[in-house]
Chain A
């Protein structure tokens, strides 16, 4: 495993996320926690892979790592490690920080002891998310020092040095990243790793108990820490001025991945400008910014999403009574929407600097291409559950859904996703719908989501006797983010045996009186179970249990077992299209003559199409090559 085995001094190619993990290892991190979420997942997955790799070699990992139940728990676990003097890292996707925010906001009052890096992986353009919130606000909101890397190498160094910054300020540091950093690969120069401590000691301190009197005393301390942070920011190696071309009084202020686009655009446009590249973006170095403003006649601010730097610069300019012209979002040159790219930045700078944009206008194919959106995999057990639900439920049924692969049930022909806010919202909104309409309600959440945020709304449903059906799609893993374990699995993130908590046991404990446990691959029995659940007056929960087909087939491959493939007997097929129009497995397709076939390279061998075919035209054909 090159990320831990290669020697210091060597340069290797790493994903931005892997670079963050490597930075933490080089800093001697003791405790790392997470709840998986794209685009942050590989930070934690790399800790997990390292722990398992070392376990195999019979070596003790230098850290403790866990996939926590949710982001709030993850932050609390790591904060406690910091209170014991250990170095800790917590990583999550941007919306995860919403879940952890209750802990986050007061943690900043209390402050940390051992260095603590909190990674927020933002997702401009919502590549894999339900919103594109700008988490830099959290640094301003809670008063957290913030670092923003532009490249994987910088991500590693900011993580490594961020621990020192955190310890100097006694504050957790927010490492704010975006998808194009998390999922970019770049060369990483390895350094010697510090030895981790292993165990620390919790020294009791009444100031750790945030009763009102303590909170009132801590708030001014926090503000003072931020004054110190600003002084550090003035001298931070991550804030620098880069002059490109001839000396110029045009300035560009930028941070994060936008810096990369700015740098290349300046080259391509052949313009002269100096760049203030901010890596420590909260607090910004006010004096450095003032001096930069003084040296410029006009300043362009290039930042993705909200105008945080732009507004802060305007405040400074107002205080300085300067008349420097600011170009950015407020002048309409840049958008508050979606991620930037070289084209967007080059076009905007060409307009501001009044030079010709050398990039060609994008070619649009004249041909209309069929769309290729993500879809439930062939053999996915969720498809079988959805097929059964549609058979059982009346037409006007409402389907609140949740965060996971099963959101893909939104697509036709299933159309079983009507409402989605956040983790756990399926059951919470189902409760609200049950008191607001007489329509039937069947909601869906995954097993990992159930543990994360699904239990409190079920308690609400039981306590108030809401009439609804909640489905737990238990595929034994956190599938969408890359098959991480969760409290229901038999192993933990370090590969150690773990107590597996059964969904149905929790449901019983919550007082759910109608629980159906089904294997969705038996579509007939699953349909009947949903019919009974719908008929029950009060909260009913269907636990639809079948492992993710990708995991099941992986295990089969490892065990040397065959994965079957299915075929359609053209003699028997009457082209009723049930398998295509209603079941819609991506492996089933029309040939040019209109006959229906199964693509063997895509078939994952679940056999559900054989069950739903009314003419028994589909059968097993032997093993996949």
Chain B
């Protein structure tokens, strides 16, 4: 096996998952790493389950094989479990603890499982790191920075093949000046929550 870093980013449409994947990819380019990423667009985006991948290093395509993710970064707890097929025992699963209840629970009588059981099952297959990203985002100044909190947490997980500053600088380069402080706080909040 060659030198590859595989990240799977999951969550719910509208949570900034695609933006996070895009920033991570740009950071890799800034670090002069080879990178491929995949996204979902169109119908799948309307409030549905979303998954993106970012692959760095000696890779030639954008999709991740089962059991080969180095990290699964999820902005919603059950979405972390939904994509657990990408995990192996060494995979770091970093998830926000705030559930987004799908409409199928209220309208169609499906069941949202207890988070305790969700976490237990993730721990059977991978290394779980829980984080209250929504709280950190709100404390930083805007709930919308939740995806940046998650990137901060990822940077602290010792997985990325480049320095944390490169990721932070890429984030700051890609947002309007007036939101830079909020995002910096969010990123550092996420970083501290894992370190």
Residues of A within 8 A of B (CB): 11-13, 15, 38-39, 41-42, 127-128, 151, 180, 183-187, 257, 259-261, 263-264, 267-268, 341-343, 346, 359-377, 405, 407-408, 412-413, 480-482, 580-581, 584-586, 588-590, 599, 601-602, 625
| Chain B residue with Cβ nearest A185 | B37
Q: Establish whether residues A370 and B68, one from each chain, have CB atoms under 8 Å apart when the complex forms.
A: no
Q: Establish whether residues B65 and A363, one from each chain, have CB atoms under 8 Å apart when the complex forms.
A: no
Binds A, one of B82-90, B156-164, B182-190: B82-90
| Chain B residue with Cβ nearest A358 | B1
Distance in Å from the Cβ of A123 to the closest Cβ of chain B? 9
Q: Is B176 part of the contact surface with A, judged by Cβ < 8 Å?
A: no
CA distance A11 to B85 in the complex (A): 33
CA distance A264 to B36 in the complex (A): 13
Q: Is B175 part of the contact surface with A, judged by Cβ < 8 Å?
A: no
Could you say which residues of chain A place their CB within 8 Å of the CB of B59? 264
Query: Given A185-B38, A341-B65, 9 more contacts at CB 8 Å?
Result: A13-B35, A42-B41, A186-B35, A346-B65, A370-B78, A370-B102, A372-B79, A580-B107, A590-B101
Could you say which residues of chain B place their CB within 8 Å of the CB of A41? 41-42
Q: Which of the residues B26, B47, B106 comes within 8 Å of A374, measured between beta carbons?
A: B47
| Chain A residue with Cβ nearest B50 | A372
Q: Establish whether residues B81 and A374, one from each chain, have CB atoms under 8 Å apart when the complex forms.
A: no
Could you say which residues of chain A place their CB within 8 Å of the CB of B132? none
CA distance A361 to B87 in the complex (A): 11
Q: Establish whether residues B61 and A257, one from each chain, have CB atoms under 8 Å apart when the complex forms.
A: yes
CA distance A183 to B43 in the complex (A): 13
Q: Establish whether residues B102 and A371, one from each chain, have CB atoms under 8 Å apart when the complex forms.
A: yes
Q: Establish whether residues A371 and B110, one from each chain, have CB atoms under 8 Å apart when the complex forms.
A: yes
Q: How many residues of B contact A (CB 8 A)?
A: 62
Could you say which residues of chain B place their CB within 8 Å of the CB of A341? 63, 65
Which residue of B36, B82, B103, B108 has the most chain A CB atoms within 10 A of its CB atom? B103
Q: Establish whether residues B107 and A11, one from each chain, have CB atoms under 8 Å apart when the complex forms.
A: no
Could you say which residues of chain A place their CB within 8 Å of the CB of B113? 367-370
Could you say which residues of chain B place their CB within 8 Å of the CB of A408? 43, 46
Q: Establish whether residues A360 and B66, one from each chain, have CB atoms under 8 Å apart when the complex forms.
A: yes
CA distance A571 to B63 in the complex (A): 51
Q: Establish whether residues B105 and A370, one from each chain, have CB atoms under 8 Å apart when the complex forms.
A: yes
Q: Establish whether residues A362 and B66, one from each chain, have CB atoms under 8 Å apart when the complex forms.
A: yes
Distance in Å from the Cβ of A490 to the closest Cβ of chain B? 25
CA distance A368 to B67 in the complex (A): 20
| Chain A residue with Cβ nearest B23 | A13
| Chain A residue with Cβ nearest B49 | A372
Q: Establish whether residues B43 and A374, one from each chain, have CB atoms under 8 Å apart when the complex forms.
A: yes
| Chain B residue with Cβ nearest A360 | B67
CA distance A493 to B106 in the complex (A): 40
| Chain A residue with Cβ nearest B122 | A365
Q: Which of the residues A365, A369, A480, A602 comes within 8 Å of B43, measured between beta carbons?
A: A480
CA distance A490 to B101 in the complex (A): 38
Q: Establish whether residues B103 and A375, one from each chain, have CB atoms under 8 Å apart when the complex forms.
A: yes
| Chain B residue with Cβ nearest A404 | B43
Q: Establish whether residues A363 and B61, one from each chain, have CB atoms under 8 Å apart when the complex forms.
A: no
Which residue of A263, A363, A413, A581 has the most chain B CB atoms within 10 A of its CB atom? A363
Could you say which residues of chain A place their CB within 8 Å of the CB of B22? 13, 185
Q: Establish whether residues A367 and B37, one from each chain, have CB atoms under 8 Å apart when the complex forms.
A: no
| Chain A residue with Cβ nearest B173 | A2
Take A184-B62, A346-B65 as given contacts and tell me if A127 and B29 are in contact as well, using a CB distance cutoff of 8 Å.
Answer: no
CA distance A514 to B190 in the complex (A): 59
Distance in Å from the Cβ of B121 to the closest Cβ of chain A? 5
Q: Is B45 part of the contact surface with A, judged by Cβ < 8 Å?
A: yes
| Chain B residue with Cβ nearest A123 | B42
Could you say which residues of chain A place their CB within 8 Å of the CB of B88? 360
| Chain A residue with Cβ nearest B112 | A370
Could you say which residues of chain B place their CB within 8 Å of the CB of A257? 61
Q: Is B118 part of the contact surface with A, judged by Cβ < 8 Å?
A: yes
Which residue of A13, A261, A343, A408 has the most chain B CB atoms within 10 A of its CB atom? A13
Q: Is B125 part of the contact surface with A, judged by Cβ < 8 Å?
A: yes
In chain B between 27 and 55, which residues have their CB closer than 8 angstroms to a CB of chain A?
A: 28-29, 34-49
CA distance A15 to B12 in the complex (A): 21
| Chain A residue with Cβ nearest B12 | A372
Distance in Å from the Cβ of A373 to the closest Cβ of chain B? 6
Take A11-B29, A13-B25 as given contacts and tell me if A373 and B36 are in contact as well, using a CB distance cutoff of 8 Å.
Answer: no
Could you say which residues of chain A place their CB within 8 Å of the CB of B12? 372
CA distance A547 to B29 in the complex (A): 39
Q: Establish whether residues B121 and A373, one from each chain, have CB atoms under 8 Å apart when the complex forms.
A: no
Q: Establish whether residues B66 and A590, one from each chain, have CB atoms under 8 Å apart when the complex forms.
A: no
Q: Which of the residues B1, B43, B66, B108 comes within 8 Å of A38, measured between beta carbons?
A: B43
Closest 7 CB pairs of A and B: A260-B61, A38-B42, A128-B42, A360-B67, A374-B48, A342-B65, A374-B46
Q: Establish whether residues B82 and A369, one from each chain, have CB atoms under 8 Å apart when the complex forms.
A: yes
Q: Establish whether residues B85 and A185, one from each chain, have CB atoms under 8 Å apart when the complex forms.
A: no
Q: Establish whether residues A343 and B45, one from each chain, have CB atoms under 8 Å apart when the complex forms.
A: no
Could you say which residues of chain A place their CB within 8 Å of the CB of B177? none
Q: Establish whether residues A368 and B111, one from each chain, have CB atoms under 8 Å apart when the complex forms.
A: yes
Q: Establish whether residues B35 and A187, one from each chain, have CB atoms under 8 Å apart when the complex forms.
A: yes
Distance in Å from the Cβ of A127 to the closest Cβ of chain B? 6
Q: Establish whether residues B13 and A374, one from each chain, have CB atoms under 8 Å apart when the complex forms.
A: yes
Q: What are 10 A-B pairs with beta-carbon distances under 8 A?
A: A12-B29, A185-B21, A185-B39, A257-B61, A359-B68, A363-B87, A368-B113, A376-B46, A480-B42, A580-B107
Could you say which residues of chain B place their CB within 8 Å of the CB of A268? 1, 65
Take A128-B44, A261-B63, A372-B48 as given contacts and tell me if A15 and B117 are in contact as well, using a CB distance cutoff of 8 Å.
Answer: no
Q: Establish whether residues B25 and A185, one from each chain, have CB atoms under 8 Å apart when the complex forms.
A: yes
Q: Establish whether residues B108 and A412, one from each chain, have CB atoms under 8 Å apart when the complex forms.
A: yes
Q: Establish whether residues A183 and B40, one from each chain, have CB atoms under 8 Å apart when the complex forms.
A: yes
Distance in Å from the Cβ of B79 to the closest Cβ of chain A? 8
Q: Which of the residues B26, B61, B64, B66 comes within 8 Å of A13, measured between beta carbons?
A: B26
Could you say which residues of chain B place their CB within 8 Å of the CB of A42? 41
Which residue of A39, A42, A586 has the most chain B CB atoms within 10 A of its CB atom? A586
Q: Establish whether residues A180 and B38, one from each chain, have CB atoms under 8 Å apart when the complex forms.
A: yes
Take A127-B42, A184-B37, A187-B35 as given contacts and tell me if A363 and B102 are in contact as well, using a CB distance cutoff of 8 Å.
Answer: no
CA distance A369 to B83 in the complex (A): 11
Q: Is B172 part of the contact surface with A, judged by Cβ < 8 Å?
A: no
Could you say which residues of chain A place their CB within 8 Å of the CB of B46? 374-377, 405, 408, 480
Q: Establish whether residues A586 and B103, one from each chain, have CB atoms under 8 Å apart when the complex forms.
A: yes
Q: Establish whether residues B84 and A371, one from each chain, have CB atoms under 8 Å apart when the complex forms.
A: no
CA distance A128 to B100 in the complex (A): 23
Which residue of A184, A412, A581, A602 has the most chain B CB atoms within 10 A of its CB atom? A184
Q: Which of the residues B37, B60, B106 comes within 8 Å of A264, measured between beta carbons?
A: B60
Which residue of B35, B101, B108 has the most chain A CB atoms within 10 A of its CB atom? B101
Which residue of A186, A365, A372 has the most chain B CB atoms within 10 A of its CB atom? A372
Take A186-B36, A373-B48, A590-B106 as given contacts and tell me if A359 and B63 are in contact as well, using a CB distance cutoff of 8 Å.
Answer: no
Q: Establish whether residues B36 and A151, one from each chain, have CB atoms under 8 Å apart when the complex forms.
A: yes
Could you say which residues of chain A place their CB within 8 Å of the CB of B60? 151, 259-260, 263-264
Could you say which residues of chain A place their CB within 8 Å of the CB of B106? 580, 584, 588-590
Take A260-B60, A370-B102, A370-B112 as given contacts and tell me if A364 and B85 are in contact as well, using a CB distance cutoff of 8 Å.
Answer: yes
